[in-house]
Amino acid sequence: MSGASTGGQNECCSQIKGIGGNDLHDEWDAPGGTEAYKGTVVTDFPNFFILYGPNAATGQHSVIFHSECQINYSYHLLRPVLRGSVDSIMVKPEAQKRDLS
């Protein structure tokens, strides 16, 4: 399941909490809809990564290739966290908006 279902239902996301206790289910049901930067990370949800998140599946590429690219991207983002040089990473709201426009 990608986390993005139809009919305003995102049951898989009801236990994912972001900054200030924001619920991913509520965020994705709000005006603006289901969004993720590069289909992988979500504003206000630090250290949260998704494979084949919203707007990720184009149907033009191999699922395996696309998954490998998202895993590689996630690994590069998480490297400073894993090294202990930062506590968390999160996409900036303006970057997420720009990616989706």
Does residue 47 lie within any of the structural domains?
yes
Q: Given this model, what pLDDT does residue 13 score?
A: 63
Q: Write the pLDDT tens digit of every residue in 51-73.
A: 888 877 767 778 888 889 899 99
Does residue 2 lie within any of the structural domains?
no
Does residue 74 lie within any of the structural domains?
yes
Q: Given this model, what pLDDT does residue 9 score?
A: 53
Q: Which domain holds residue 56?
A: 11-88
Does residue 41 lie within any of the structural domains?
yes
Does residue 63 lie within any of the structural domains?
yes
User: How many domains are there within the chain?
Assistant: 1
Does residue 4 lie within any of the structural domains?
no
Q: Given this model, what pLDDT does residue 39 score?
A: 87
Q: Given this model, what pLDDT does residue 4 score?
A: 47
Task: Assign 41 to helix, strand or coil.
Answer: strand
Does residue 75 lie within any of the structural domains?
yes
58 and 92 Cβ atoms separated by less than 8 Å: no
Residues of the chain with pLDDT under 50: 1-6
Question: Which backbone phi and psi does 17 adopt, to 5 degrees?
Answer: -110, 140
